[in-house]
Every structure is written in C-alpha cells, then in structure tokens.
Amino acid sequence: MIHRQVTPVWGANNSGQGMATTILITRPEPAASGFAEKLRNRLGGDARIVISPILRIEHLPVSLDNIAAGDTLILTSAQALPALTGKAKGQTCYCVGPATTDAAKRAGLTAIDTGGTAEHLARRLLADRPSGNLLYLRGEHVASDLAKILSEAGIETEERVVYRQLPQALDPTALSLLEGRNPLVIPLFSPRSARLFLEAAPGPAPLHIAAISRNTAETVPAGRAASIHIAETPTAEAMLDLIEDLASGPNRVESGNTAK
C-alpha cells in the first residue's frame, strides 16, 4: 500500500524556519552522476544534490565471441553493454526504456525501445517473435525472470550474467544527512536498491520517496517515509519530471500526489 503525504518537502520545522531540501541519489555510477547532471540542468546550479551509491557494478569477464550477426540481443540495462565492446555487429537489440535504447544505439546496435519495464519487453518479443538466437545479457539480480518467461512461451532464450550489482555502504555525507532533521528527496530505481537503502538509512530525516514504479514504492514499510510518490512511467525521464515537481515547492507536494 502506498502511504499518503505527511509532511511537505518544503515544510517548516517546529521553530517555524524553512528547511532546505536535499536530493540524495543512490544509483550506481556512472548512472548516478548522469542523473544528477540532468537534475541540475532542470533545477539550476544551486540545487542540493548528493550522490552516494548503494550499489556498485562489477563487470564480469564473460566470453561473447560466438555472437552472430543474425542473433537478437535483449538488454534491461545499459550496464550490460561493456560486455559487447568490440563484439557488436549491428545486431537487433530489444531494450527496456529510452536510456538503454540510446546507449545501445551508440554501441552500434539496432536498438528497439520496448517500453519501461521487463513486462513491456516480454510482450513486444512475444508479438514480434524474432528469428535466430536470442541472448539476454543481464545483471546477477533481476526483478523478472525474463528468459524463463520467454522460453516457456516458446521463444527459446539464452541468458548470460555479464555484471554484478554489489551492495556498498552509504558514505559519511549521506549518513550525516539521514541522521539530521532536514527533508530529503530519495529517488529509488528498483525494489532491490530500495530495500538496500532503507536497511542502510538510519536516523530521523524525513524521507520523500520518488519511486520509479509501484513495485519499488511498495518495498517501503508503513511509516518509514514522510511521503511516497510514483513516476508516471518507469523511466529516468519520468523520474526527472517527478523530482522537479517535488522540488518546485509545496503547492504540488502538499496535494498528496502519491500515485503519479
């Protein structure tokens, strides 16, 4: 269940003084820095943005030398692309979301944006039923068992784990913010990263969660956040829209918009 708004992001403390809001980004690098730059472009150079990844990416030495030009690739994250360095031959690549699609195009693939979720991707593949071998390049942790879903539907899909998403501790700056009492806007991009952040986040700071999906929002325990908001679509662009909305002042935030 998604919890209703309790405290406006730009609310006041008990002394009546306004409290500055900080946006704490916990995505892995380099996605964290790229997202922060886009936020600054929208919010201005004075925006208070802190980066402290809760995960780090470890790329694995996986052999992909047997990929043929006619094979079809599947990507749910741009983090898989380094495994294809020097091996991309213009293959068709079905991608989750515009960011992964754009990155795949830059890597020399014929990329197709299927929408913002693994479910969207599965539906598109089931509709298109591409010929040739299908290879799903993924991380160690995934929200959906896409290869199983496709194989059980009659589209035999091989998968390779080409990177790991390893937990790491929040840095001292992030911990200090979380132990304070000023409000924090927390973008959360997956159920797993949400759980890891909430396990690592101490202290009384009011958390205003910007969740990329309802599944991500539902990992937040009752009473753990001052407010929870869901992006219109499960994409980085929609998350930017949501955070800009939250940072624009109390008029929108006080409306209790928790089901965007």
In this predicted structure, what is the pLDDT of residue 62? Answer: 86
In this predicted structure, what is the pLDDT of residue 14? Answer: 37
In this predicted structure, what is the pLDDT of residue 20? Answer: 56
* Tens digit of each residue's pLDDT (9 = 90 or more) over 198-257: 999 988 999 999 999 999 999 999 999 999 999 999 989 999 999 999 987 543 433 334
| Distance (Å, whole) CA 232 – CA 36 | 19
- Section 170-178 average pLDDT: 96
pLDDT higher at 249 or 74: 74
In this predicted structure, what is the pLDDT of residue 259? Answer: 41
Least confident of 3-7, 62-66, 170-174: 3-7
Q: What is the pTM of this model?
A: 0.82
- Section 144-171 average pLDDT: 91
Percentage of residues in the chain having pLDDT higher than 90: 61
Q: Which of 136, 95, 139, 132 is closest to 117 using CA atoms? A: 95
In this predicted structure, what is the pLDDT of residue 86? Answer: 81
* Tens digit of each residue's pLDDT (9 = 90 or more) over 187-198: 999 999 999 999
Name the strands in the sheet holding 157-167, side by side, starting at the edge strand that comes first in the sequence. 55-59, 157-167, 134-139, 72-75, 92-95, 110-113
* Tens digit of each residue's pLDDT (9 = 90 or more) over 81-136: 999 988 877 889 999 988 899 999 999 999 999 988 888 899 999 999 998 889 99
- Element containing residue 139 per DSSP (H, E): strand 134-139
In this predicted structure, what is the pLDDT of residue 255? Answer: 33
Amino acid letter, residue 27 = R
How big is the CA angle at 107 (ends 110 and 64), to the nearest 5 degrees? 90
Q: Which of 12, 36, 13 is closest to 24 using CA atoms? A: 36
Contact 121, 74 (CB under 8 A): yes
